[in-house]
Structure formats: structure tokens, C-alpha cells
Chains A and B, each alone.
Chain A
């Protein structure tokens, strides 16, 4: 298994500002994933973060809006830039501790409200 610490757990932000969410894992992992869950909706993948290379973004998500860093094998950040109320969501990071189709684990999530 993996223990994932995600910070902050919640925040209320003014529109036009940016928020950086941190995800720390207790073991080295190859892939880290960032998901968004809009109110009342399911989880949607934003991007896949590989160490040492640019993140891979899903359709509808762009680097300018959601820049991601992955400086090492245990840490990643997601920034939500120039926020609007439509960005109010839960943001979750996820890891798969080992390759080969094994179990994925999630951080506790960041509940973001933009006012």
C-alpha cells in the first residue's frame, strides 16, 4: 500500500488567484495522477505526472491552467491558476505503488471553494 499526504485539505480562495496543492508519498512511485471532482460528479483525470518529464494532460485540461511539478519520485504539486468559481471542486492525487496493474491509492483530497 501507500500513504499519501495531500495539503491543504481545504481552502477558500478569491477569484483570480492561484492555489498550489501538494502531494507527498511515503515511497517512490513512477506515476502520480491528479483528478478533479466537480460538485456532485465523478472523478475526471487532469494529468499524469512523470518524474523528469512534462506532465501529460487529458483533453480539456491545459498546462497554463493546471501546471504540475514532479521534482522527485515521492512528491508532486498541482497549481490551479487564475481561479474562477467553476474551479470549485475536490482535487485528488493518486499513485500506483508498483507497475503491473496493481491497486491505486488516493490522497485525502483538497476541497477548493472559489468565491
Chain B
């Protein structure tokens, strides 16, 4: 299957700081999603972004499909942003809807 690599694995910030999370993938994709996993284990959909740029409040994401990477930007971070951020993809030839996940970035925001 497709390989998904996320960096950094861990990130510690002070409240108000900005951060960039990266996701590299090894094949062409027809789906790329960013998720935030809260402390209760629930996956929250952040972005569906197989290509292009999207923004939602303090969060934005960019996927450059031709270069096989995606970036998630978090601005003016808050303690509630803490948790694990996952990038997940579906590549051409895989069952539609089936996602391959990266190992995630553990984000900790201190007050």
C-alpha cells in the first residue's frame, strides 16, 4: 500500500505560537484528509484536501499533489489544539473510502 510519513512526530508549543505539520505520501492520491484525535479517541475531520489550499479559522491546509506532500498550518495555537493530528490518504487503485494513515503528530500546547 501507499506509504504516509508525518513530521514532526512530537511538537510542543506555547499558546499563541504558530506551527506547520507535514505529510509526505509515496503515490498519487485521490483523497487526502487531516484529522484531529481528541483525548477520548474521536477523530475530528479537519480538511478533505486532495489538492489545493483550504482555510477554516485558525487552521489551513495545502496539498501539492504533484510533489506528494501536504501541510497543515495552525496559527495562534490554543491549549484545546492539543492532541494527535493524523494525515490519511487513499490512492488510485485502492478501495474507495479505504484510508492509509500516517503515524501522527502529537501536539502539546502549554498555556
- Determine whether B63 belongs to the interface, using a CB cutoff of 8 Å to chain A: no
Residue count of chain B within 8 Å CB distance of chain A: 23
Known: A103-B45, A109-B43, A111-B41. A42 touches B86 (CB 8 A): yes
CA distance A44 to B98 in the complex (A): 10
B98 touches A106 (CB 8 A): no
The answer to whether A99 and B96 touch across the interface, beta carbons within 8 angstroms, is yes
Contacts of B31 in A (CB 8 A): 101-104
A92 at the interface (CB under 8 A from B): yes
Q: Is the CB of A42 within 8 A of B40?
A: no
Q: How far is the CB of A28 from chain B (nearest CB, A)?
A: 14
Are B96 and A101 closer than 8 Å at their CB atoms? Answer: yes
Task: Give the CA-CA distance A41 to B50 in the complex, in Å.
Answer: 24
The residue on A at minimum CB distance from B50 is A101
Chain B residues near A (Cβ < 8 Å): 30-31, 33, 35, 40-43, 45, 48, 50, 86, 88, 90, 95-99, 101-104
